[in-house]
Structure 1
Amino acid sequence: MGQDLTKASKATLQEQMQFAKLASTATILPEEYRNKPADVLVAVNYGASMGLSFADSLYRINVIKGKPSMSAELIASQVRIAGHQLLPKKEDLQRQSVTVTIIRCDMPDYPFTATRDRAWAQNMGLLGKDNYKKQLMTMLYWRALTAVAREACPEALYGAYTPDELQDIPDDVHAHVVADAEPVDGAASVEPSPSKEDCRRIAELMEQGGVSDAESARVAFHALTGRDITSTSELTMVEAEQLLSGPELVVSRTRQALGARHE
């Protein structure tokens, strides 16, 4: 059974449960997993879907606020394993700004770029956090990396957030709905949602790109997020943050998507 447990997919559910129960008592296990066999079980199976070993899963995947999260280092690794180029960060120490670029292996002529700077961190209310006080440039690098990876190759992230993204989300976040928008059953409104103002700004950008009705909105949202939604009320907070970090790109990609629909 020991050899079989190197990959969760090769073990029976009973074997996995036995392993999770035993592993959760280990003192060398990350503290968030100790005496939490259910979280251990979720993490190792989540990691197995990405080809990770048990050890990698338990040390590089955390469960925060009930959600599995990937470390920024793991996201960088997954991007490269998928065959995409992750270019070195470009720092501007004077502006305290970091830019990260990803070039997809199937879209080499269309680089994806994300920038995070002190002004962004201040607007997000992050500058008061210890990590940002002690290592601002490092935190900006990780946030730029995860932002561009979420846009360029979301399939490599398996829908996961990073621990700092989840910790930045308040516990009392409520869903916000833009004017006359009705949530869809099973939509992303169960996730932390963007503010009403952010929804309004995104809607304006999409209108600039040519969105005029529910169908054109669905086409545009699919191009922007990869999901079949029709309202900004169905966006997650992270998706909204990503869209607002590149307003020109939102307009141009919306135009491209709507233009392709009529070709």
Structure 2
Amino acid sequence: MSAVVAYESASLTERQQYAQTLAAAGDLIPRGLWSPVQRPDGSMGPAAPSPGKVLLVIETGAMLGLHPAAALQSIDVVEGRASLSAQLTAALIRKAGHRLSIAKSGTIAAGDYAVTVTAVRADDGEEITATWDVHRALRAGLVDSFKKNAQGIWEVRARSKQGNPLPWEAYTETMLKWRAIAEVGREGFSDVTFGLYTTEEVRDMGPSLPVADPEPEASEDWPALIAAAASRAELDDIAERLKGEPDAVRAKTRAAWQARAGVLAREAETVDAEVVEDEPEAQADESGELSEADYEAQTAAEYEAAVERGEVQP
């Protein structure tokens, strides 16, 4: 049985334990899967491998048919999304039986460097091509400028807010190749990549990358209101008010509402089951003799019973 099959057949608890075990490897886990650790007092401590990110990565890898170790080395989490390296995108396309080729031309210094990636599907022969050069990267806002210097040599400039060189400036040729591969993969092989973006795309687009609709906000603190409900009537009133909330909000409160309803029902049953207990029987002390108080109580009870039977006149 392969490691991928073994992982897919594991339970959720086993997968979570596996992710925690991998996260414990510390420096062996890629830095992209680290997150600051929250201390018990709420403050943030030094970063450490995040079991949640590790789990997301190996789950994504399982979806793509990758060994967990391969997933950790080629899948990253950026902007809360699992993303593929361009190398992995190319590998997945070729692994699926499709052809992919990379052609380079010109030079950066001459201003005419370009990378063309061509892929041909094995099933229907469709050809998908993407060409990227620095001018296209400039139009996309990925580089700050691309122009000649005083010596007539073309130079790429891509800087961070602090003025430090970004990968687009330091590794322009590589970044163009990765972008061309990503475009081909997204346009012609979504069945292979499951529509995932590459790490470079997610990092470059950042917040502009299409994301799922944000979760709607609740108009009230429903969990607190549900927990404070003292009767089923109050709980039913909360249910009526919840009808005006979005489905996502109602779905999150359903379990809490049902749990509170169960608690109130059990409390009501307990009250209904209460009965007035008979007068306690006289209890003997350790010597077998009744205490003075118990003796008086027993005598009084016998006297009252005798009066009721007409044996004794009050």
TM-score, structure 2 normalization: 0.52
Among residues 169, 182, 185, which one is paired with 1:149 in the alignment?
Answer: 185
Higher strand content, 1 or 2: 2
Between the two proteins, the alignment pairs up a number of residues equal to 176
Whichever residue aligns with residue 20 of structure 1, its letter is A
Provide the rounded CA distance (Å) in 1 between the counterparts of 2:189 and 2:195: 11
Q: Where do 1:230-249 residues align within 5 Å?
A: none
Whichever residue aligns with residue 98 of structure 1, its letter is V
Provide the rounded CA distance (Å) in 2 between the counterparts of 1:189 and 1:137: 32
* Aligned CA distance change for structure 1 residues 58 and 169 (closer, same or farther; 3 Å): same
SS of the residue aligned with 2:105? Answer: strand
Among residues 114, 117, 126, which one is paired with 1:100 in the alignment?
Answer: 117
Where do 5+ consecutive residues of structure 1 fail to align?
A: 176-187, 192-263
Among residues 195, 203, 209, which one is paired with 1:159 in the alignment?
Answer: 195
Give the alignment's Cα RMSD to 1 decimal.
2.4
CA contact (8 A) 2:64 2:193 kept: no
* Aligned CA distance change for structure 1 residues 126 and 174 (closer, same or farther; 3 Å): closer
**C-alpha deviation, 1:26, in angstroms:** 1.3
Instruction: State whether structure 2 residue 91 is matched by structure 1 residue 77.
Output: yes
Among residues 23, 32, 54, which one is paired with 1:40 in the alignment?
Answer: 54
**C-alpha deviation, 1:147, in angstroms:** 0.4
CA contact (8 A) 1:7 1:54 kept: no
Provide the rounded CA distance (Å) in 2 between the counterparts of 1:30 and 1:49: 20
CA contact (8 A) 2:94 2:100 kept: yes
Which structure carries more relative contact order (alpha carbon 8 Å, separation 6+)?
1
CA contact (8 A) 1:116 1:140 kept: yes
Whichever residue aligns with residue 16 of structure 2, its letter is M
* Aligned CA distance change for structure 1 residues 148 and 174 (closer, same or farther; 3 Å): closer
Most deviating of 56-65 and 25-34:
25-34
Q: Where do 1:118-157 residues align within 5 Å?
A: 118-127=134-143, 128-129=158-159, 130-157=166-193
Provide the rounded CA distance (Å) in 2 between the counterparts of 1:98 and 1:174: 24
Provide the rounded CA distance (Å) in 1 between the counterparts of 2:11 and 2:122: 36
- The residue that corresponds to 1:114 in the other structure is 130
TM-score, structure 1 normalization: 0.61
Q: Where do 1:183-262 residues align within 5 Å?
A: 190=213
Provide the rounded CA distance (Å) in 1 between the counterparts of 2:72 and 2:182: 20
1:162-202 alpha-carbon deviations (Å, 9 max, x no partner): 1110111243x498xxxxxxxxxxxx7749xxxxxxxxxxx
The structure that has the greater radius of gyration is: 2
**C-alpha deviation, 1:131, in angstroms:** 1.0
